[in-house]
């Protein structure tokens, strides 16, 4: 299956939208969109505090390639956390109308002629999505009386410029997230309700199965959004005062160190409104309330330590409590992960949907039932299998005439539409059709001891190994036991070796992220996937990279290593360093092949190739400033993760534009870990026989000393200059008059010190860039390439400066560059 970001088509569509990028509101006004401006694909509004961003996105960033859909995902208008490395959307505007127009470059976000904020198709002049508000007192042909502003709390508001009245806000139309400061309740006068609805899946933000709303009686209802509408949890102020309920909630939150003092819940009621809300005293924290796909209301907190979202509070506590969250013919166990599982002799209806978090489709039979009815006579060889310690399914039919379990079973067997029965406390109940909401006794919110007997085909049940009464002989038992013992011993040895060899950087993942394991491929499979290695994507000193498509249609990049002396060492380094690490800005290793002398690595395919291609080679795409700054921050985050968040510090050792790949949304991912070196936390340096690429090498590396993570910092600084300028760090440059030395980093830092940043920025941008961001990036670059490694920053410091969280004074001119400058001046004078 192709990648979620649409490996080829989606990338081409995005490329076409980036040709001659306009000076958008993202660069003109930062957090505001006015009538004369437009927001295109790749542009974004950013709140003044830098915490939130608004723009167009394609869902599924970070989702495993093995579960990507076969169709191209649409584009959505959304708001997300701007400084969180895990792409996290908090609001979607057109969640029911994704943009699927192949000419995506004609689509923009604008203030329409009626004053609404709208997604417009410039070719057809049609409105794809709009805020649908009636702007009063509007006259004239040009929009000058409304603007859209993204505030520091993540709220998008439309403001009337003449009266400063708020006409519309995204807080009133939540998707599945409620941010601090948003109201959850109702307007008593207008009858307007705030309602949050779950998403369909991890890659489809459309309305899902569950919703939360405050009813007219002041009761918070979490219920099934689709028919049948079943309320599975409520929070009422009828029996207790809201203050009492809020006190209980605060006590629960204070018991957990992660949430202690983190939020202040409130309840407000007056003649016009009734609503709940919450605030967070710690403005630097990232937090939100979420109704997840399964219907649980959760409080999500960003953990800097694990670089992931943590669920610190959930209601209901048992994920199995929401009605039919696992779909038909499943058993839900709140203590298991995943908590949904198919009943005996059933299989997942859609493996893809399950992997994407949507289990509502449930499971289907492996073997059809054997039951026929003719001349009022029923013939069946079906059997029943017990499921013990469960809550009986939803909507049972009581059978009054069955006084024993045998009679109850016979009643179900004689009806071909009967799928299960139970006989508990001398009461017979049967079910027809799908079995829903069968929950295991997990000790959370469920202590049921009931038994449900599901109807299965006899041959299917026997093939599954149930009720097989044939007894094995002693010889079979002994032989089987011996084989199993050997297998278990071999497995334990393999796991021990594997864990010690590859367990470099394991970070707790959310359930949605899937397994962090990698796949072992056969050489013949990879040869077939790459059409006998016929389509080369690139190559280097250690090997060549080829495009391939796996049997499940997943597009991949296959790296075939060569070079007898280094291949084993480089192979181990690459697998060890990225085999088990997970970060949005690091390329994902899907698997590898190791057969005799053949060494191959299988990566996720990056549809937009390398950064080098877009900066230095003939390419129709000119990366706009917003995309460039996104790449700069993303690479910095990826390096910070490698240096500071892994169990062992990983030094990449070869940071350059060729090793920075871009996905369909131009999000950067660091690749090629063949030179990577590991540094234990008790050590600060490591010797390596590898050398990076000329032009990106730190001075201390050239002298042969043991390296530190600061070599990556130096390389990053050099790459940063290239992204800003759109030109190589070449030591030579031709002019019309003469040939002379003009090392670009020397020019860049000299102009930076003179305050002339504009002349450093790529002229292809036509002056369309954020001057403050450009100056900040230039200062960071100068800071990173200091001669003395101790004067360079850590990548964590780099990230904070780039995100505007830390101020940076003008760094000094590096001594080596200063010497080059002096020499150049002397040559010019003579």
Q: According to the 3-state scheme, what is the secondary structure of 197-210?
A: EEEEECCEEEEEEE
For residue 71, is pLDDT > 70?
A: no
Top-confidence residue, 215 or 390:
390
Residue scoring higher pLDDT (761 or 19) = 761
Q: Which tokens is 460 given?
A: 């299917």
The closest of 744, 814, 809 to 780, measured between CA atoms, is 809
8-state DSSP, 195:
E
Domain boundaries, the chain: 1-173, 183-325, 330-463, 516-604, 613-829
> Does pLDDT of 471 surpass 70?
no
Structure token pair of residue 677: 């070196």
> Which H/E stretch holds residue 750?
helix 744-753
Top CATH class, 613-829: mainly alpha
Give how far the C-alpha of residue 16 lies from the chain's centroid of Cα atoms, to the nearest Å: 25
Question: Model confidence at 473, in pLDDT bands (50, 70, 90)?
Answer: very low
Q: What is the mean pLDDT of residues 88-98?
A: 93
pLDDT (tens digit, 9 = 90+) per residue, 262-301? 788 888 889 999 998 999 888 788 999 999 888 888 889 9
User: What's 266's DSSP letter?
Assistant: E
Q: What is the mean pLDDT of residues 764-780?
A: 90
Q: Is beta strand 340-342 parallel, antiparallel or unpaired with respect to 273-279?
A: unpaired
Residues 6+ apart with CB under 8 A from 121: 101, 106, 107, 127, 128
Here the tokens at position 704 are 């042969």
Identify the CATH assignment for 516-604 out of 1.10.10.1200, 3.40.50.720, 3.30.200.20, 3.30.420.40: 3.30.200.20
Residues for the chain: how many in total? 830
Q: 690 pLDDT exceeds 90?
A: no
| Residue that the structure tokens 């004689």 belong to | 414
| Residue (of 176, 196, 175) closest to 184 by Cα position | 196
Q: What are phi and psi of 626, to 5 degrees?
A: -60, -45
Alpha helix (H) residue ranges in 308-389: 351-355
Catalytic residue selected from 318, 358, 654, 663:
654
392, pLDDT greater than 70: yes
What gap in Å lies between CA 342 and CA 421, rounded to an integer? 18
Is residue 345 within 8 A of residue 311, CB to CB? The reply is: no
Residue 654 among the catalytic residues: yes
Sign of the CA dihedral running 654, 657, 663, 666 = positive
Rounded mean pLDDT of 755-769?
Answer: 88
- Measured from the Cβ of residue 172, the count of other Cβ atoms closer than 10 Å reads 15
| Helical packing angle, 795-802 and 625-644, nearest 10° | 150
| Secondary structure string (H, E, C) spanning 368-414 | CCCEEEECCEEEECCEEEEEEEEECCCCCEEECCCCCHHHHHHHHHC
- C-alpha 192/C-alpha 214 separation (Å) is 11
User: What are 483's two structure tokens?
Assistant: 């084989």
Cβ atoms 521, 592 nearer than 8 A: yes
* Per-residue pLDDT tens over the stretch 116-154: 999 988 777 788 999 988 544 444 434 448 899 999 999
pTM: 0.54
- Segment among 9-13, 253-257, 471-475, 538-542 with least mean pLDDT: 9-13
More confident residue, 411 or 813: 411
The 8-class DSSP code of residue 86 comes to S
Q: What is the pLDDT of residue 759?
A: 87
The CA-to-CA distance between both ends of the chain, in Å, stands at 65
Do residues 39 and 27 make contact, with C-beta atoms less than 8 angstroms apart? Answer: no
Tokens of 43: 């542009």
- Name the packing angle between helices 625-644 and 771-784 (round to 10°): 40
Least confident residue range of 249-258, 640-649, 720-729, 819-828: 819-828
Pick the CATH number of 1-173 from 2.40.440.10, 2.20.28.10, 2.90.10.10, 2.40.50.140: 2.90.10.10
Nearest 5 degrees, angle CA 310-CA 585-CA 728?
155
C-alpha–C-alpha distance, residues 52 and 177, integer Å: 14
CB-CB neighbours of 691 under 10 Å: 13
pLDDT of 112: 85
Q: Single out the residue of 563, 611, 568 nearest to residue 592, CA to CA.
A: 568
Beta bridge partners of 219: 236
For the chain, the farthest-separated pair of C-alpha atoms sits apart, in whole angstroms, at 114
342 strand-pairing partners: 330
Residue 701 has phi, psi (to 5 degrees) of: -65, -40
d(CA 143, CA 116): 10
Task: Report the pLDDT averaged over residues 440-459.
Answer: 86
Q: Would you say residue 63 has pLDDT above 70?
A: no
pLDDT band with cut points at 50, 70 and 90 for residue 784: very high
Task: Give CA–CA dist 103/19, Å, rounded.
Answer: 13
Beta-bridge partner residues of 604: 556
User: Between the ranges 2-6, 206-210, 518-522, 795-799, where is the mean pLDDT highest?
Assistant: 795-799
CA distances from residue 559 to 7, 570, 574 in whole angstroms, order as listed: 18, 12, 11
- Candidates 98, 295, 79; CA nearest to 206 is 98
* Joined tokens for residue 822: 């002096």
CA distance 807 to 801: 6
How far apart are the C-alpha atoms of 810 and 804, rounded to whole Å?
15
Long-range contacts of 703-707 (CB under 8 A, 24+ apart): 707/651, 707/653, 707/677
Helix, strand, coil distribution of the chain in percent, nearest 5: 25, 30, 45
> Is residue 475 scored above 80 in pLDDT?
no
Mean pLDDT of the residues in the chain: 77
Strands (E), 140-230: 146-150, 156-160, 166-169, 177-178, 184-187, 195-201, 204-214, 219-224
Residue 721: partners with Cβ closer than 8 Å, 6 or more residues away: 729, 744, 745, 748, 778, 781
Alpha-carbon gap, residue 292 to 197, rounded angstroms: 9
For residue 776 the two structure tokens come to 């900040």
Q: With bands split at pLDDT 50, 70 and 90, how would you rate the model's confidence at 632?
A: very high
User: What is the rounded radius of gyration, in angstroms, for the C-alpha atoms of the chain?
Assistant: 31
Mean per-residue pLDDT, 554-561: 87
Location of structure tokens 């839900």? 332
CA distance 435 to 95: 31
Residue 63, helix vs strand vs coil? coil
| pLDDT exceeds cutoff 70 at 507 | no
334 vs 471, more confident? 334
Token digits of residue 222: 């979490």
Q: Which residues of 33-60 are buried (b: 16+ CB within 10 A; e: fewer)?
A: bbbebbbbbbbbbbbebbbbbbbbbbbb
Nearest to 328 by CA among 232, 222, 454: 454
- The answer on pLDDT for 596 being more than 90 is no
How does strand 52-57 pair with strand 677-679? unpaired
Q: Which of 225-234, 406-415, 500-509, 798-807 has the lowest mean pLDDT?
A: 500-509
The span from the CA of 652 to the CA of 644, in Å, is 13
Three-state DSSP class for residue 593: strand
Helices 795-802 + 710-725 axis angle, to 10: 30
- For 588, the 3-state DSSP assignment is coil
């Amino acid at each position: 299956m192709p990648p979620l970001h649409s490996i080829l088509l989606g990338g081409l569509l995005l490329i076409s939208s980036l040709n001659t990028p306009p000076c958008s509101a993202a660069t003109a006004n930062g957090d505001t969109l006015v009538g004369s401006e437009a927001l295109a694909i790749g542009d974004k509004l950013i709140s003044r505090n830098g915490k939130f961003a608004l723009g167009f996105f394609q869902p599924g960033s970070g989702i495993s390639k093995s579960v990507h859909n076969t169709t191209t995902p649409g584009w959505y208008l959304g708001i997300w956390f701007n400084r969180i490395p895990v792409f996290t959307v908090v609001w979607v505007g057109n969640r029911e109308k994704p943009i699927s127009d192949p000419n995506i470059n004609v689509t923009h976000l604008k203030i329409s002629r009626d004053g609404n904020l709208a997604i417009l198709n410039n070719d057809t002049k049609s409105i794809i999505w709009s805020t649908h508000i009636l702007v009063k007192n509007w006259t004239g042909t040009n929009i000058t009386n409304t603007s859209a502003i993204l505030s520091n709390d993540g709220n998008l508001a439309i403001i009337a410029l003449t009266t400063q009245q708020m006409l519309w806000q995204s807080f009133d139309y939540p998707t599945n997230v409620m941010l601090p400061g948003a109201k959850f309740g109702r307007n008593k006068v207008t009858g307007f309700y705030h309602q949050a609805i779950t998403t369909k899946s991890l890659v489809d933000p459309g309305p899902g199965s569950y919703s939360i709303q405050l009813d007219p009686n002041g009761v918070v209802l979490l219920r099934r959004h689709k028919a049948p509408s079943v309320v599975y949890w409520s929070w009422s102020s009828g029996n207790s005062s809201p203050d009492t309920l809020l006190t209980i909630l605060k006590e629960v939150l204070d018991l957990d160190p992660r949430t202690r003092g983190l939020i202040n819940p409130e309840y407000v009621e007056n003649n016009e409104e009734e609503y709940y809300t919450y605030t967070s005293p710690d403005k630097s924290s990232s937090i939100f309330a979420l109704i997840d796909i399964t219907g649980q209301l959760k409080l999500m907190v960003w953990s800097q330590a694990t670089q992931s979202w943590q669920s610190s509070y959930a209601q209901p506590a048992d994920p199995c409590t929401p009605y039919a969250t696992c779909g038909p013919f499943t058993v839900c166990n709140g203590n298991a992960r995943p908590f949904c599982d198919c009943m005996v002799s059933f299989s997942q209806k859609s493996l893809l949907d399950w992997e994407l978090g949507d289990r509502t489709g449930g499971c289907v039979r492996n073997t059809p039932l054997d039951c026929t009815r003719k001349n009022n006579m029923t013939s069946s060889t079906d059997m029943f299998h017990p499921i013990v310690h469960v809550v009986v399914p939803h909507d049972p039919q009581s059978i009054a005439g069955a006084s024993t379990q045998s009679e109850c079973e016979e009643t179900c067997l004689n009806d071909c539409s009967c799928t299960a029965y139970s006989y508990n406390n001398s009461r017979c109940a049967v079910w027809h059709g799908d079995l829903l909401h069968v929950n295991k006794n997990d000790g959370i919110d469920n202590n049921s001891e009931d038994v449900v007997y599901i109807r299965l085909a006899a041959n299917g049940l026997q093939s599954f190994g149930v009720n097989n009464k044939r007894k094995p002989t002693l010889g079979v038992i002994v032989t089987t036991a011996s084989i199993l013992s050997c297998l278990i011993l071999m497995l334990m040895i393999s796991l021990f070796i594997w864990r010690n060899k590859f367990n470099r950087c394991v970070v707790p993942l959310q359930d949605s992220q899937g397994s962090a394991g990698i796949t072992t491929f056969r050489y013949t499979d990879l040869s077939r996937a790459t059409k006998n290695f016929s389509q080369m994507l690139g190559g280097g000193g250690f090997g060549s990279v080829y495009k391939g498509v796996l049997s499940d249609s997943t597009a991949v990049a296959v790296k075939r290593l060569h070079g007898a002396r280094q291949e084993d060492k480089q192979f181990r380094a690459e697998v060890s360093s990225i085999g088990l690490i997970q970060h949005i800005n690091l390329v994902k290793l899907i698997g590898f092949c190791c057969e005799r002398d053949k060494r191959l690595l299988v990566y996720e395919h990056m549809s937009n190739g390398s950064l080098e291609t877009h900066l230095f080679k003939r390419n129709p795409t000119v990366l706009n400033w917003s995309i460039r700054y996104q790449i700069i921050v993303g690479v910095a985050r990826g390096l910070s993760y490698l240096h500071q968040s892994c169990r062992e510090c990983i030094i990449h050792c070869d940071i350059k534009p060729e090793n920075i790949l871009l996905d369909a949304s131009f999000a950067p991912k660091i690749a090629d870990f063949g030179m990577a070196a590991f540094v234990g936390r008790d050590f600060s340096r490591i010797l390596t026989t590898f050398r990076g690429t000329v032009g990106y090498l730190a001075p201390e590396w050239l002298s042969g000393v043991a390296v530190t993570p600061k070599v990556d910092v130096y390389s990053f600084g050099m790459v940063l200059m290239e992204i800003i300028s759109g030109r190589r760090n070449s030591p030579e440059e031709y002019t019309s008059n003469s040939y002379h030395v003009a090392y670009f980093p020397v020019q860049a830092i000299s102009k930076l010190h003179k305050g002339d940043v504009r002349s450093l920025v790529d002229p292809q941008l036509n002056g369309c860039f954020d001057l403050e961001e450009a100056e900040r990036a230039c200062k960071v670059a100068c800071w990173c390439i200091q001669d003395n490694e101790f004067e360079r920053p850590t990548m964590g410091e780099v990230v904070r400066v780039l995100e505007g969280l830390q101020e940076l004074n003008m760094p000094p001119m590096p001594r080596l560059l200063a010497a080059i400058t002096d020499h150049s001046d002397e040559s010019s004078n003579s």
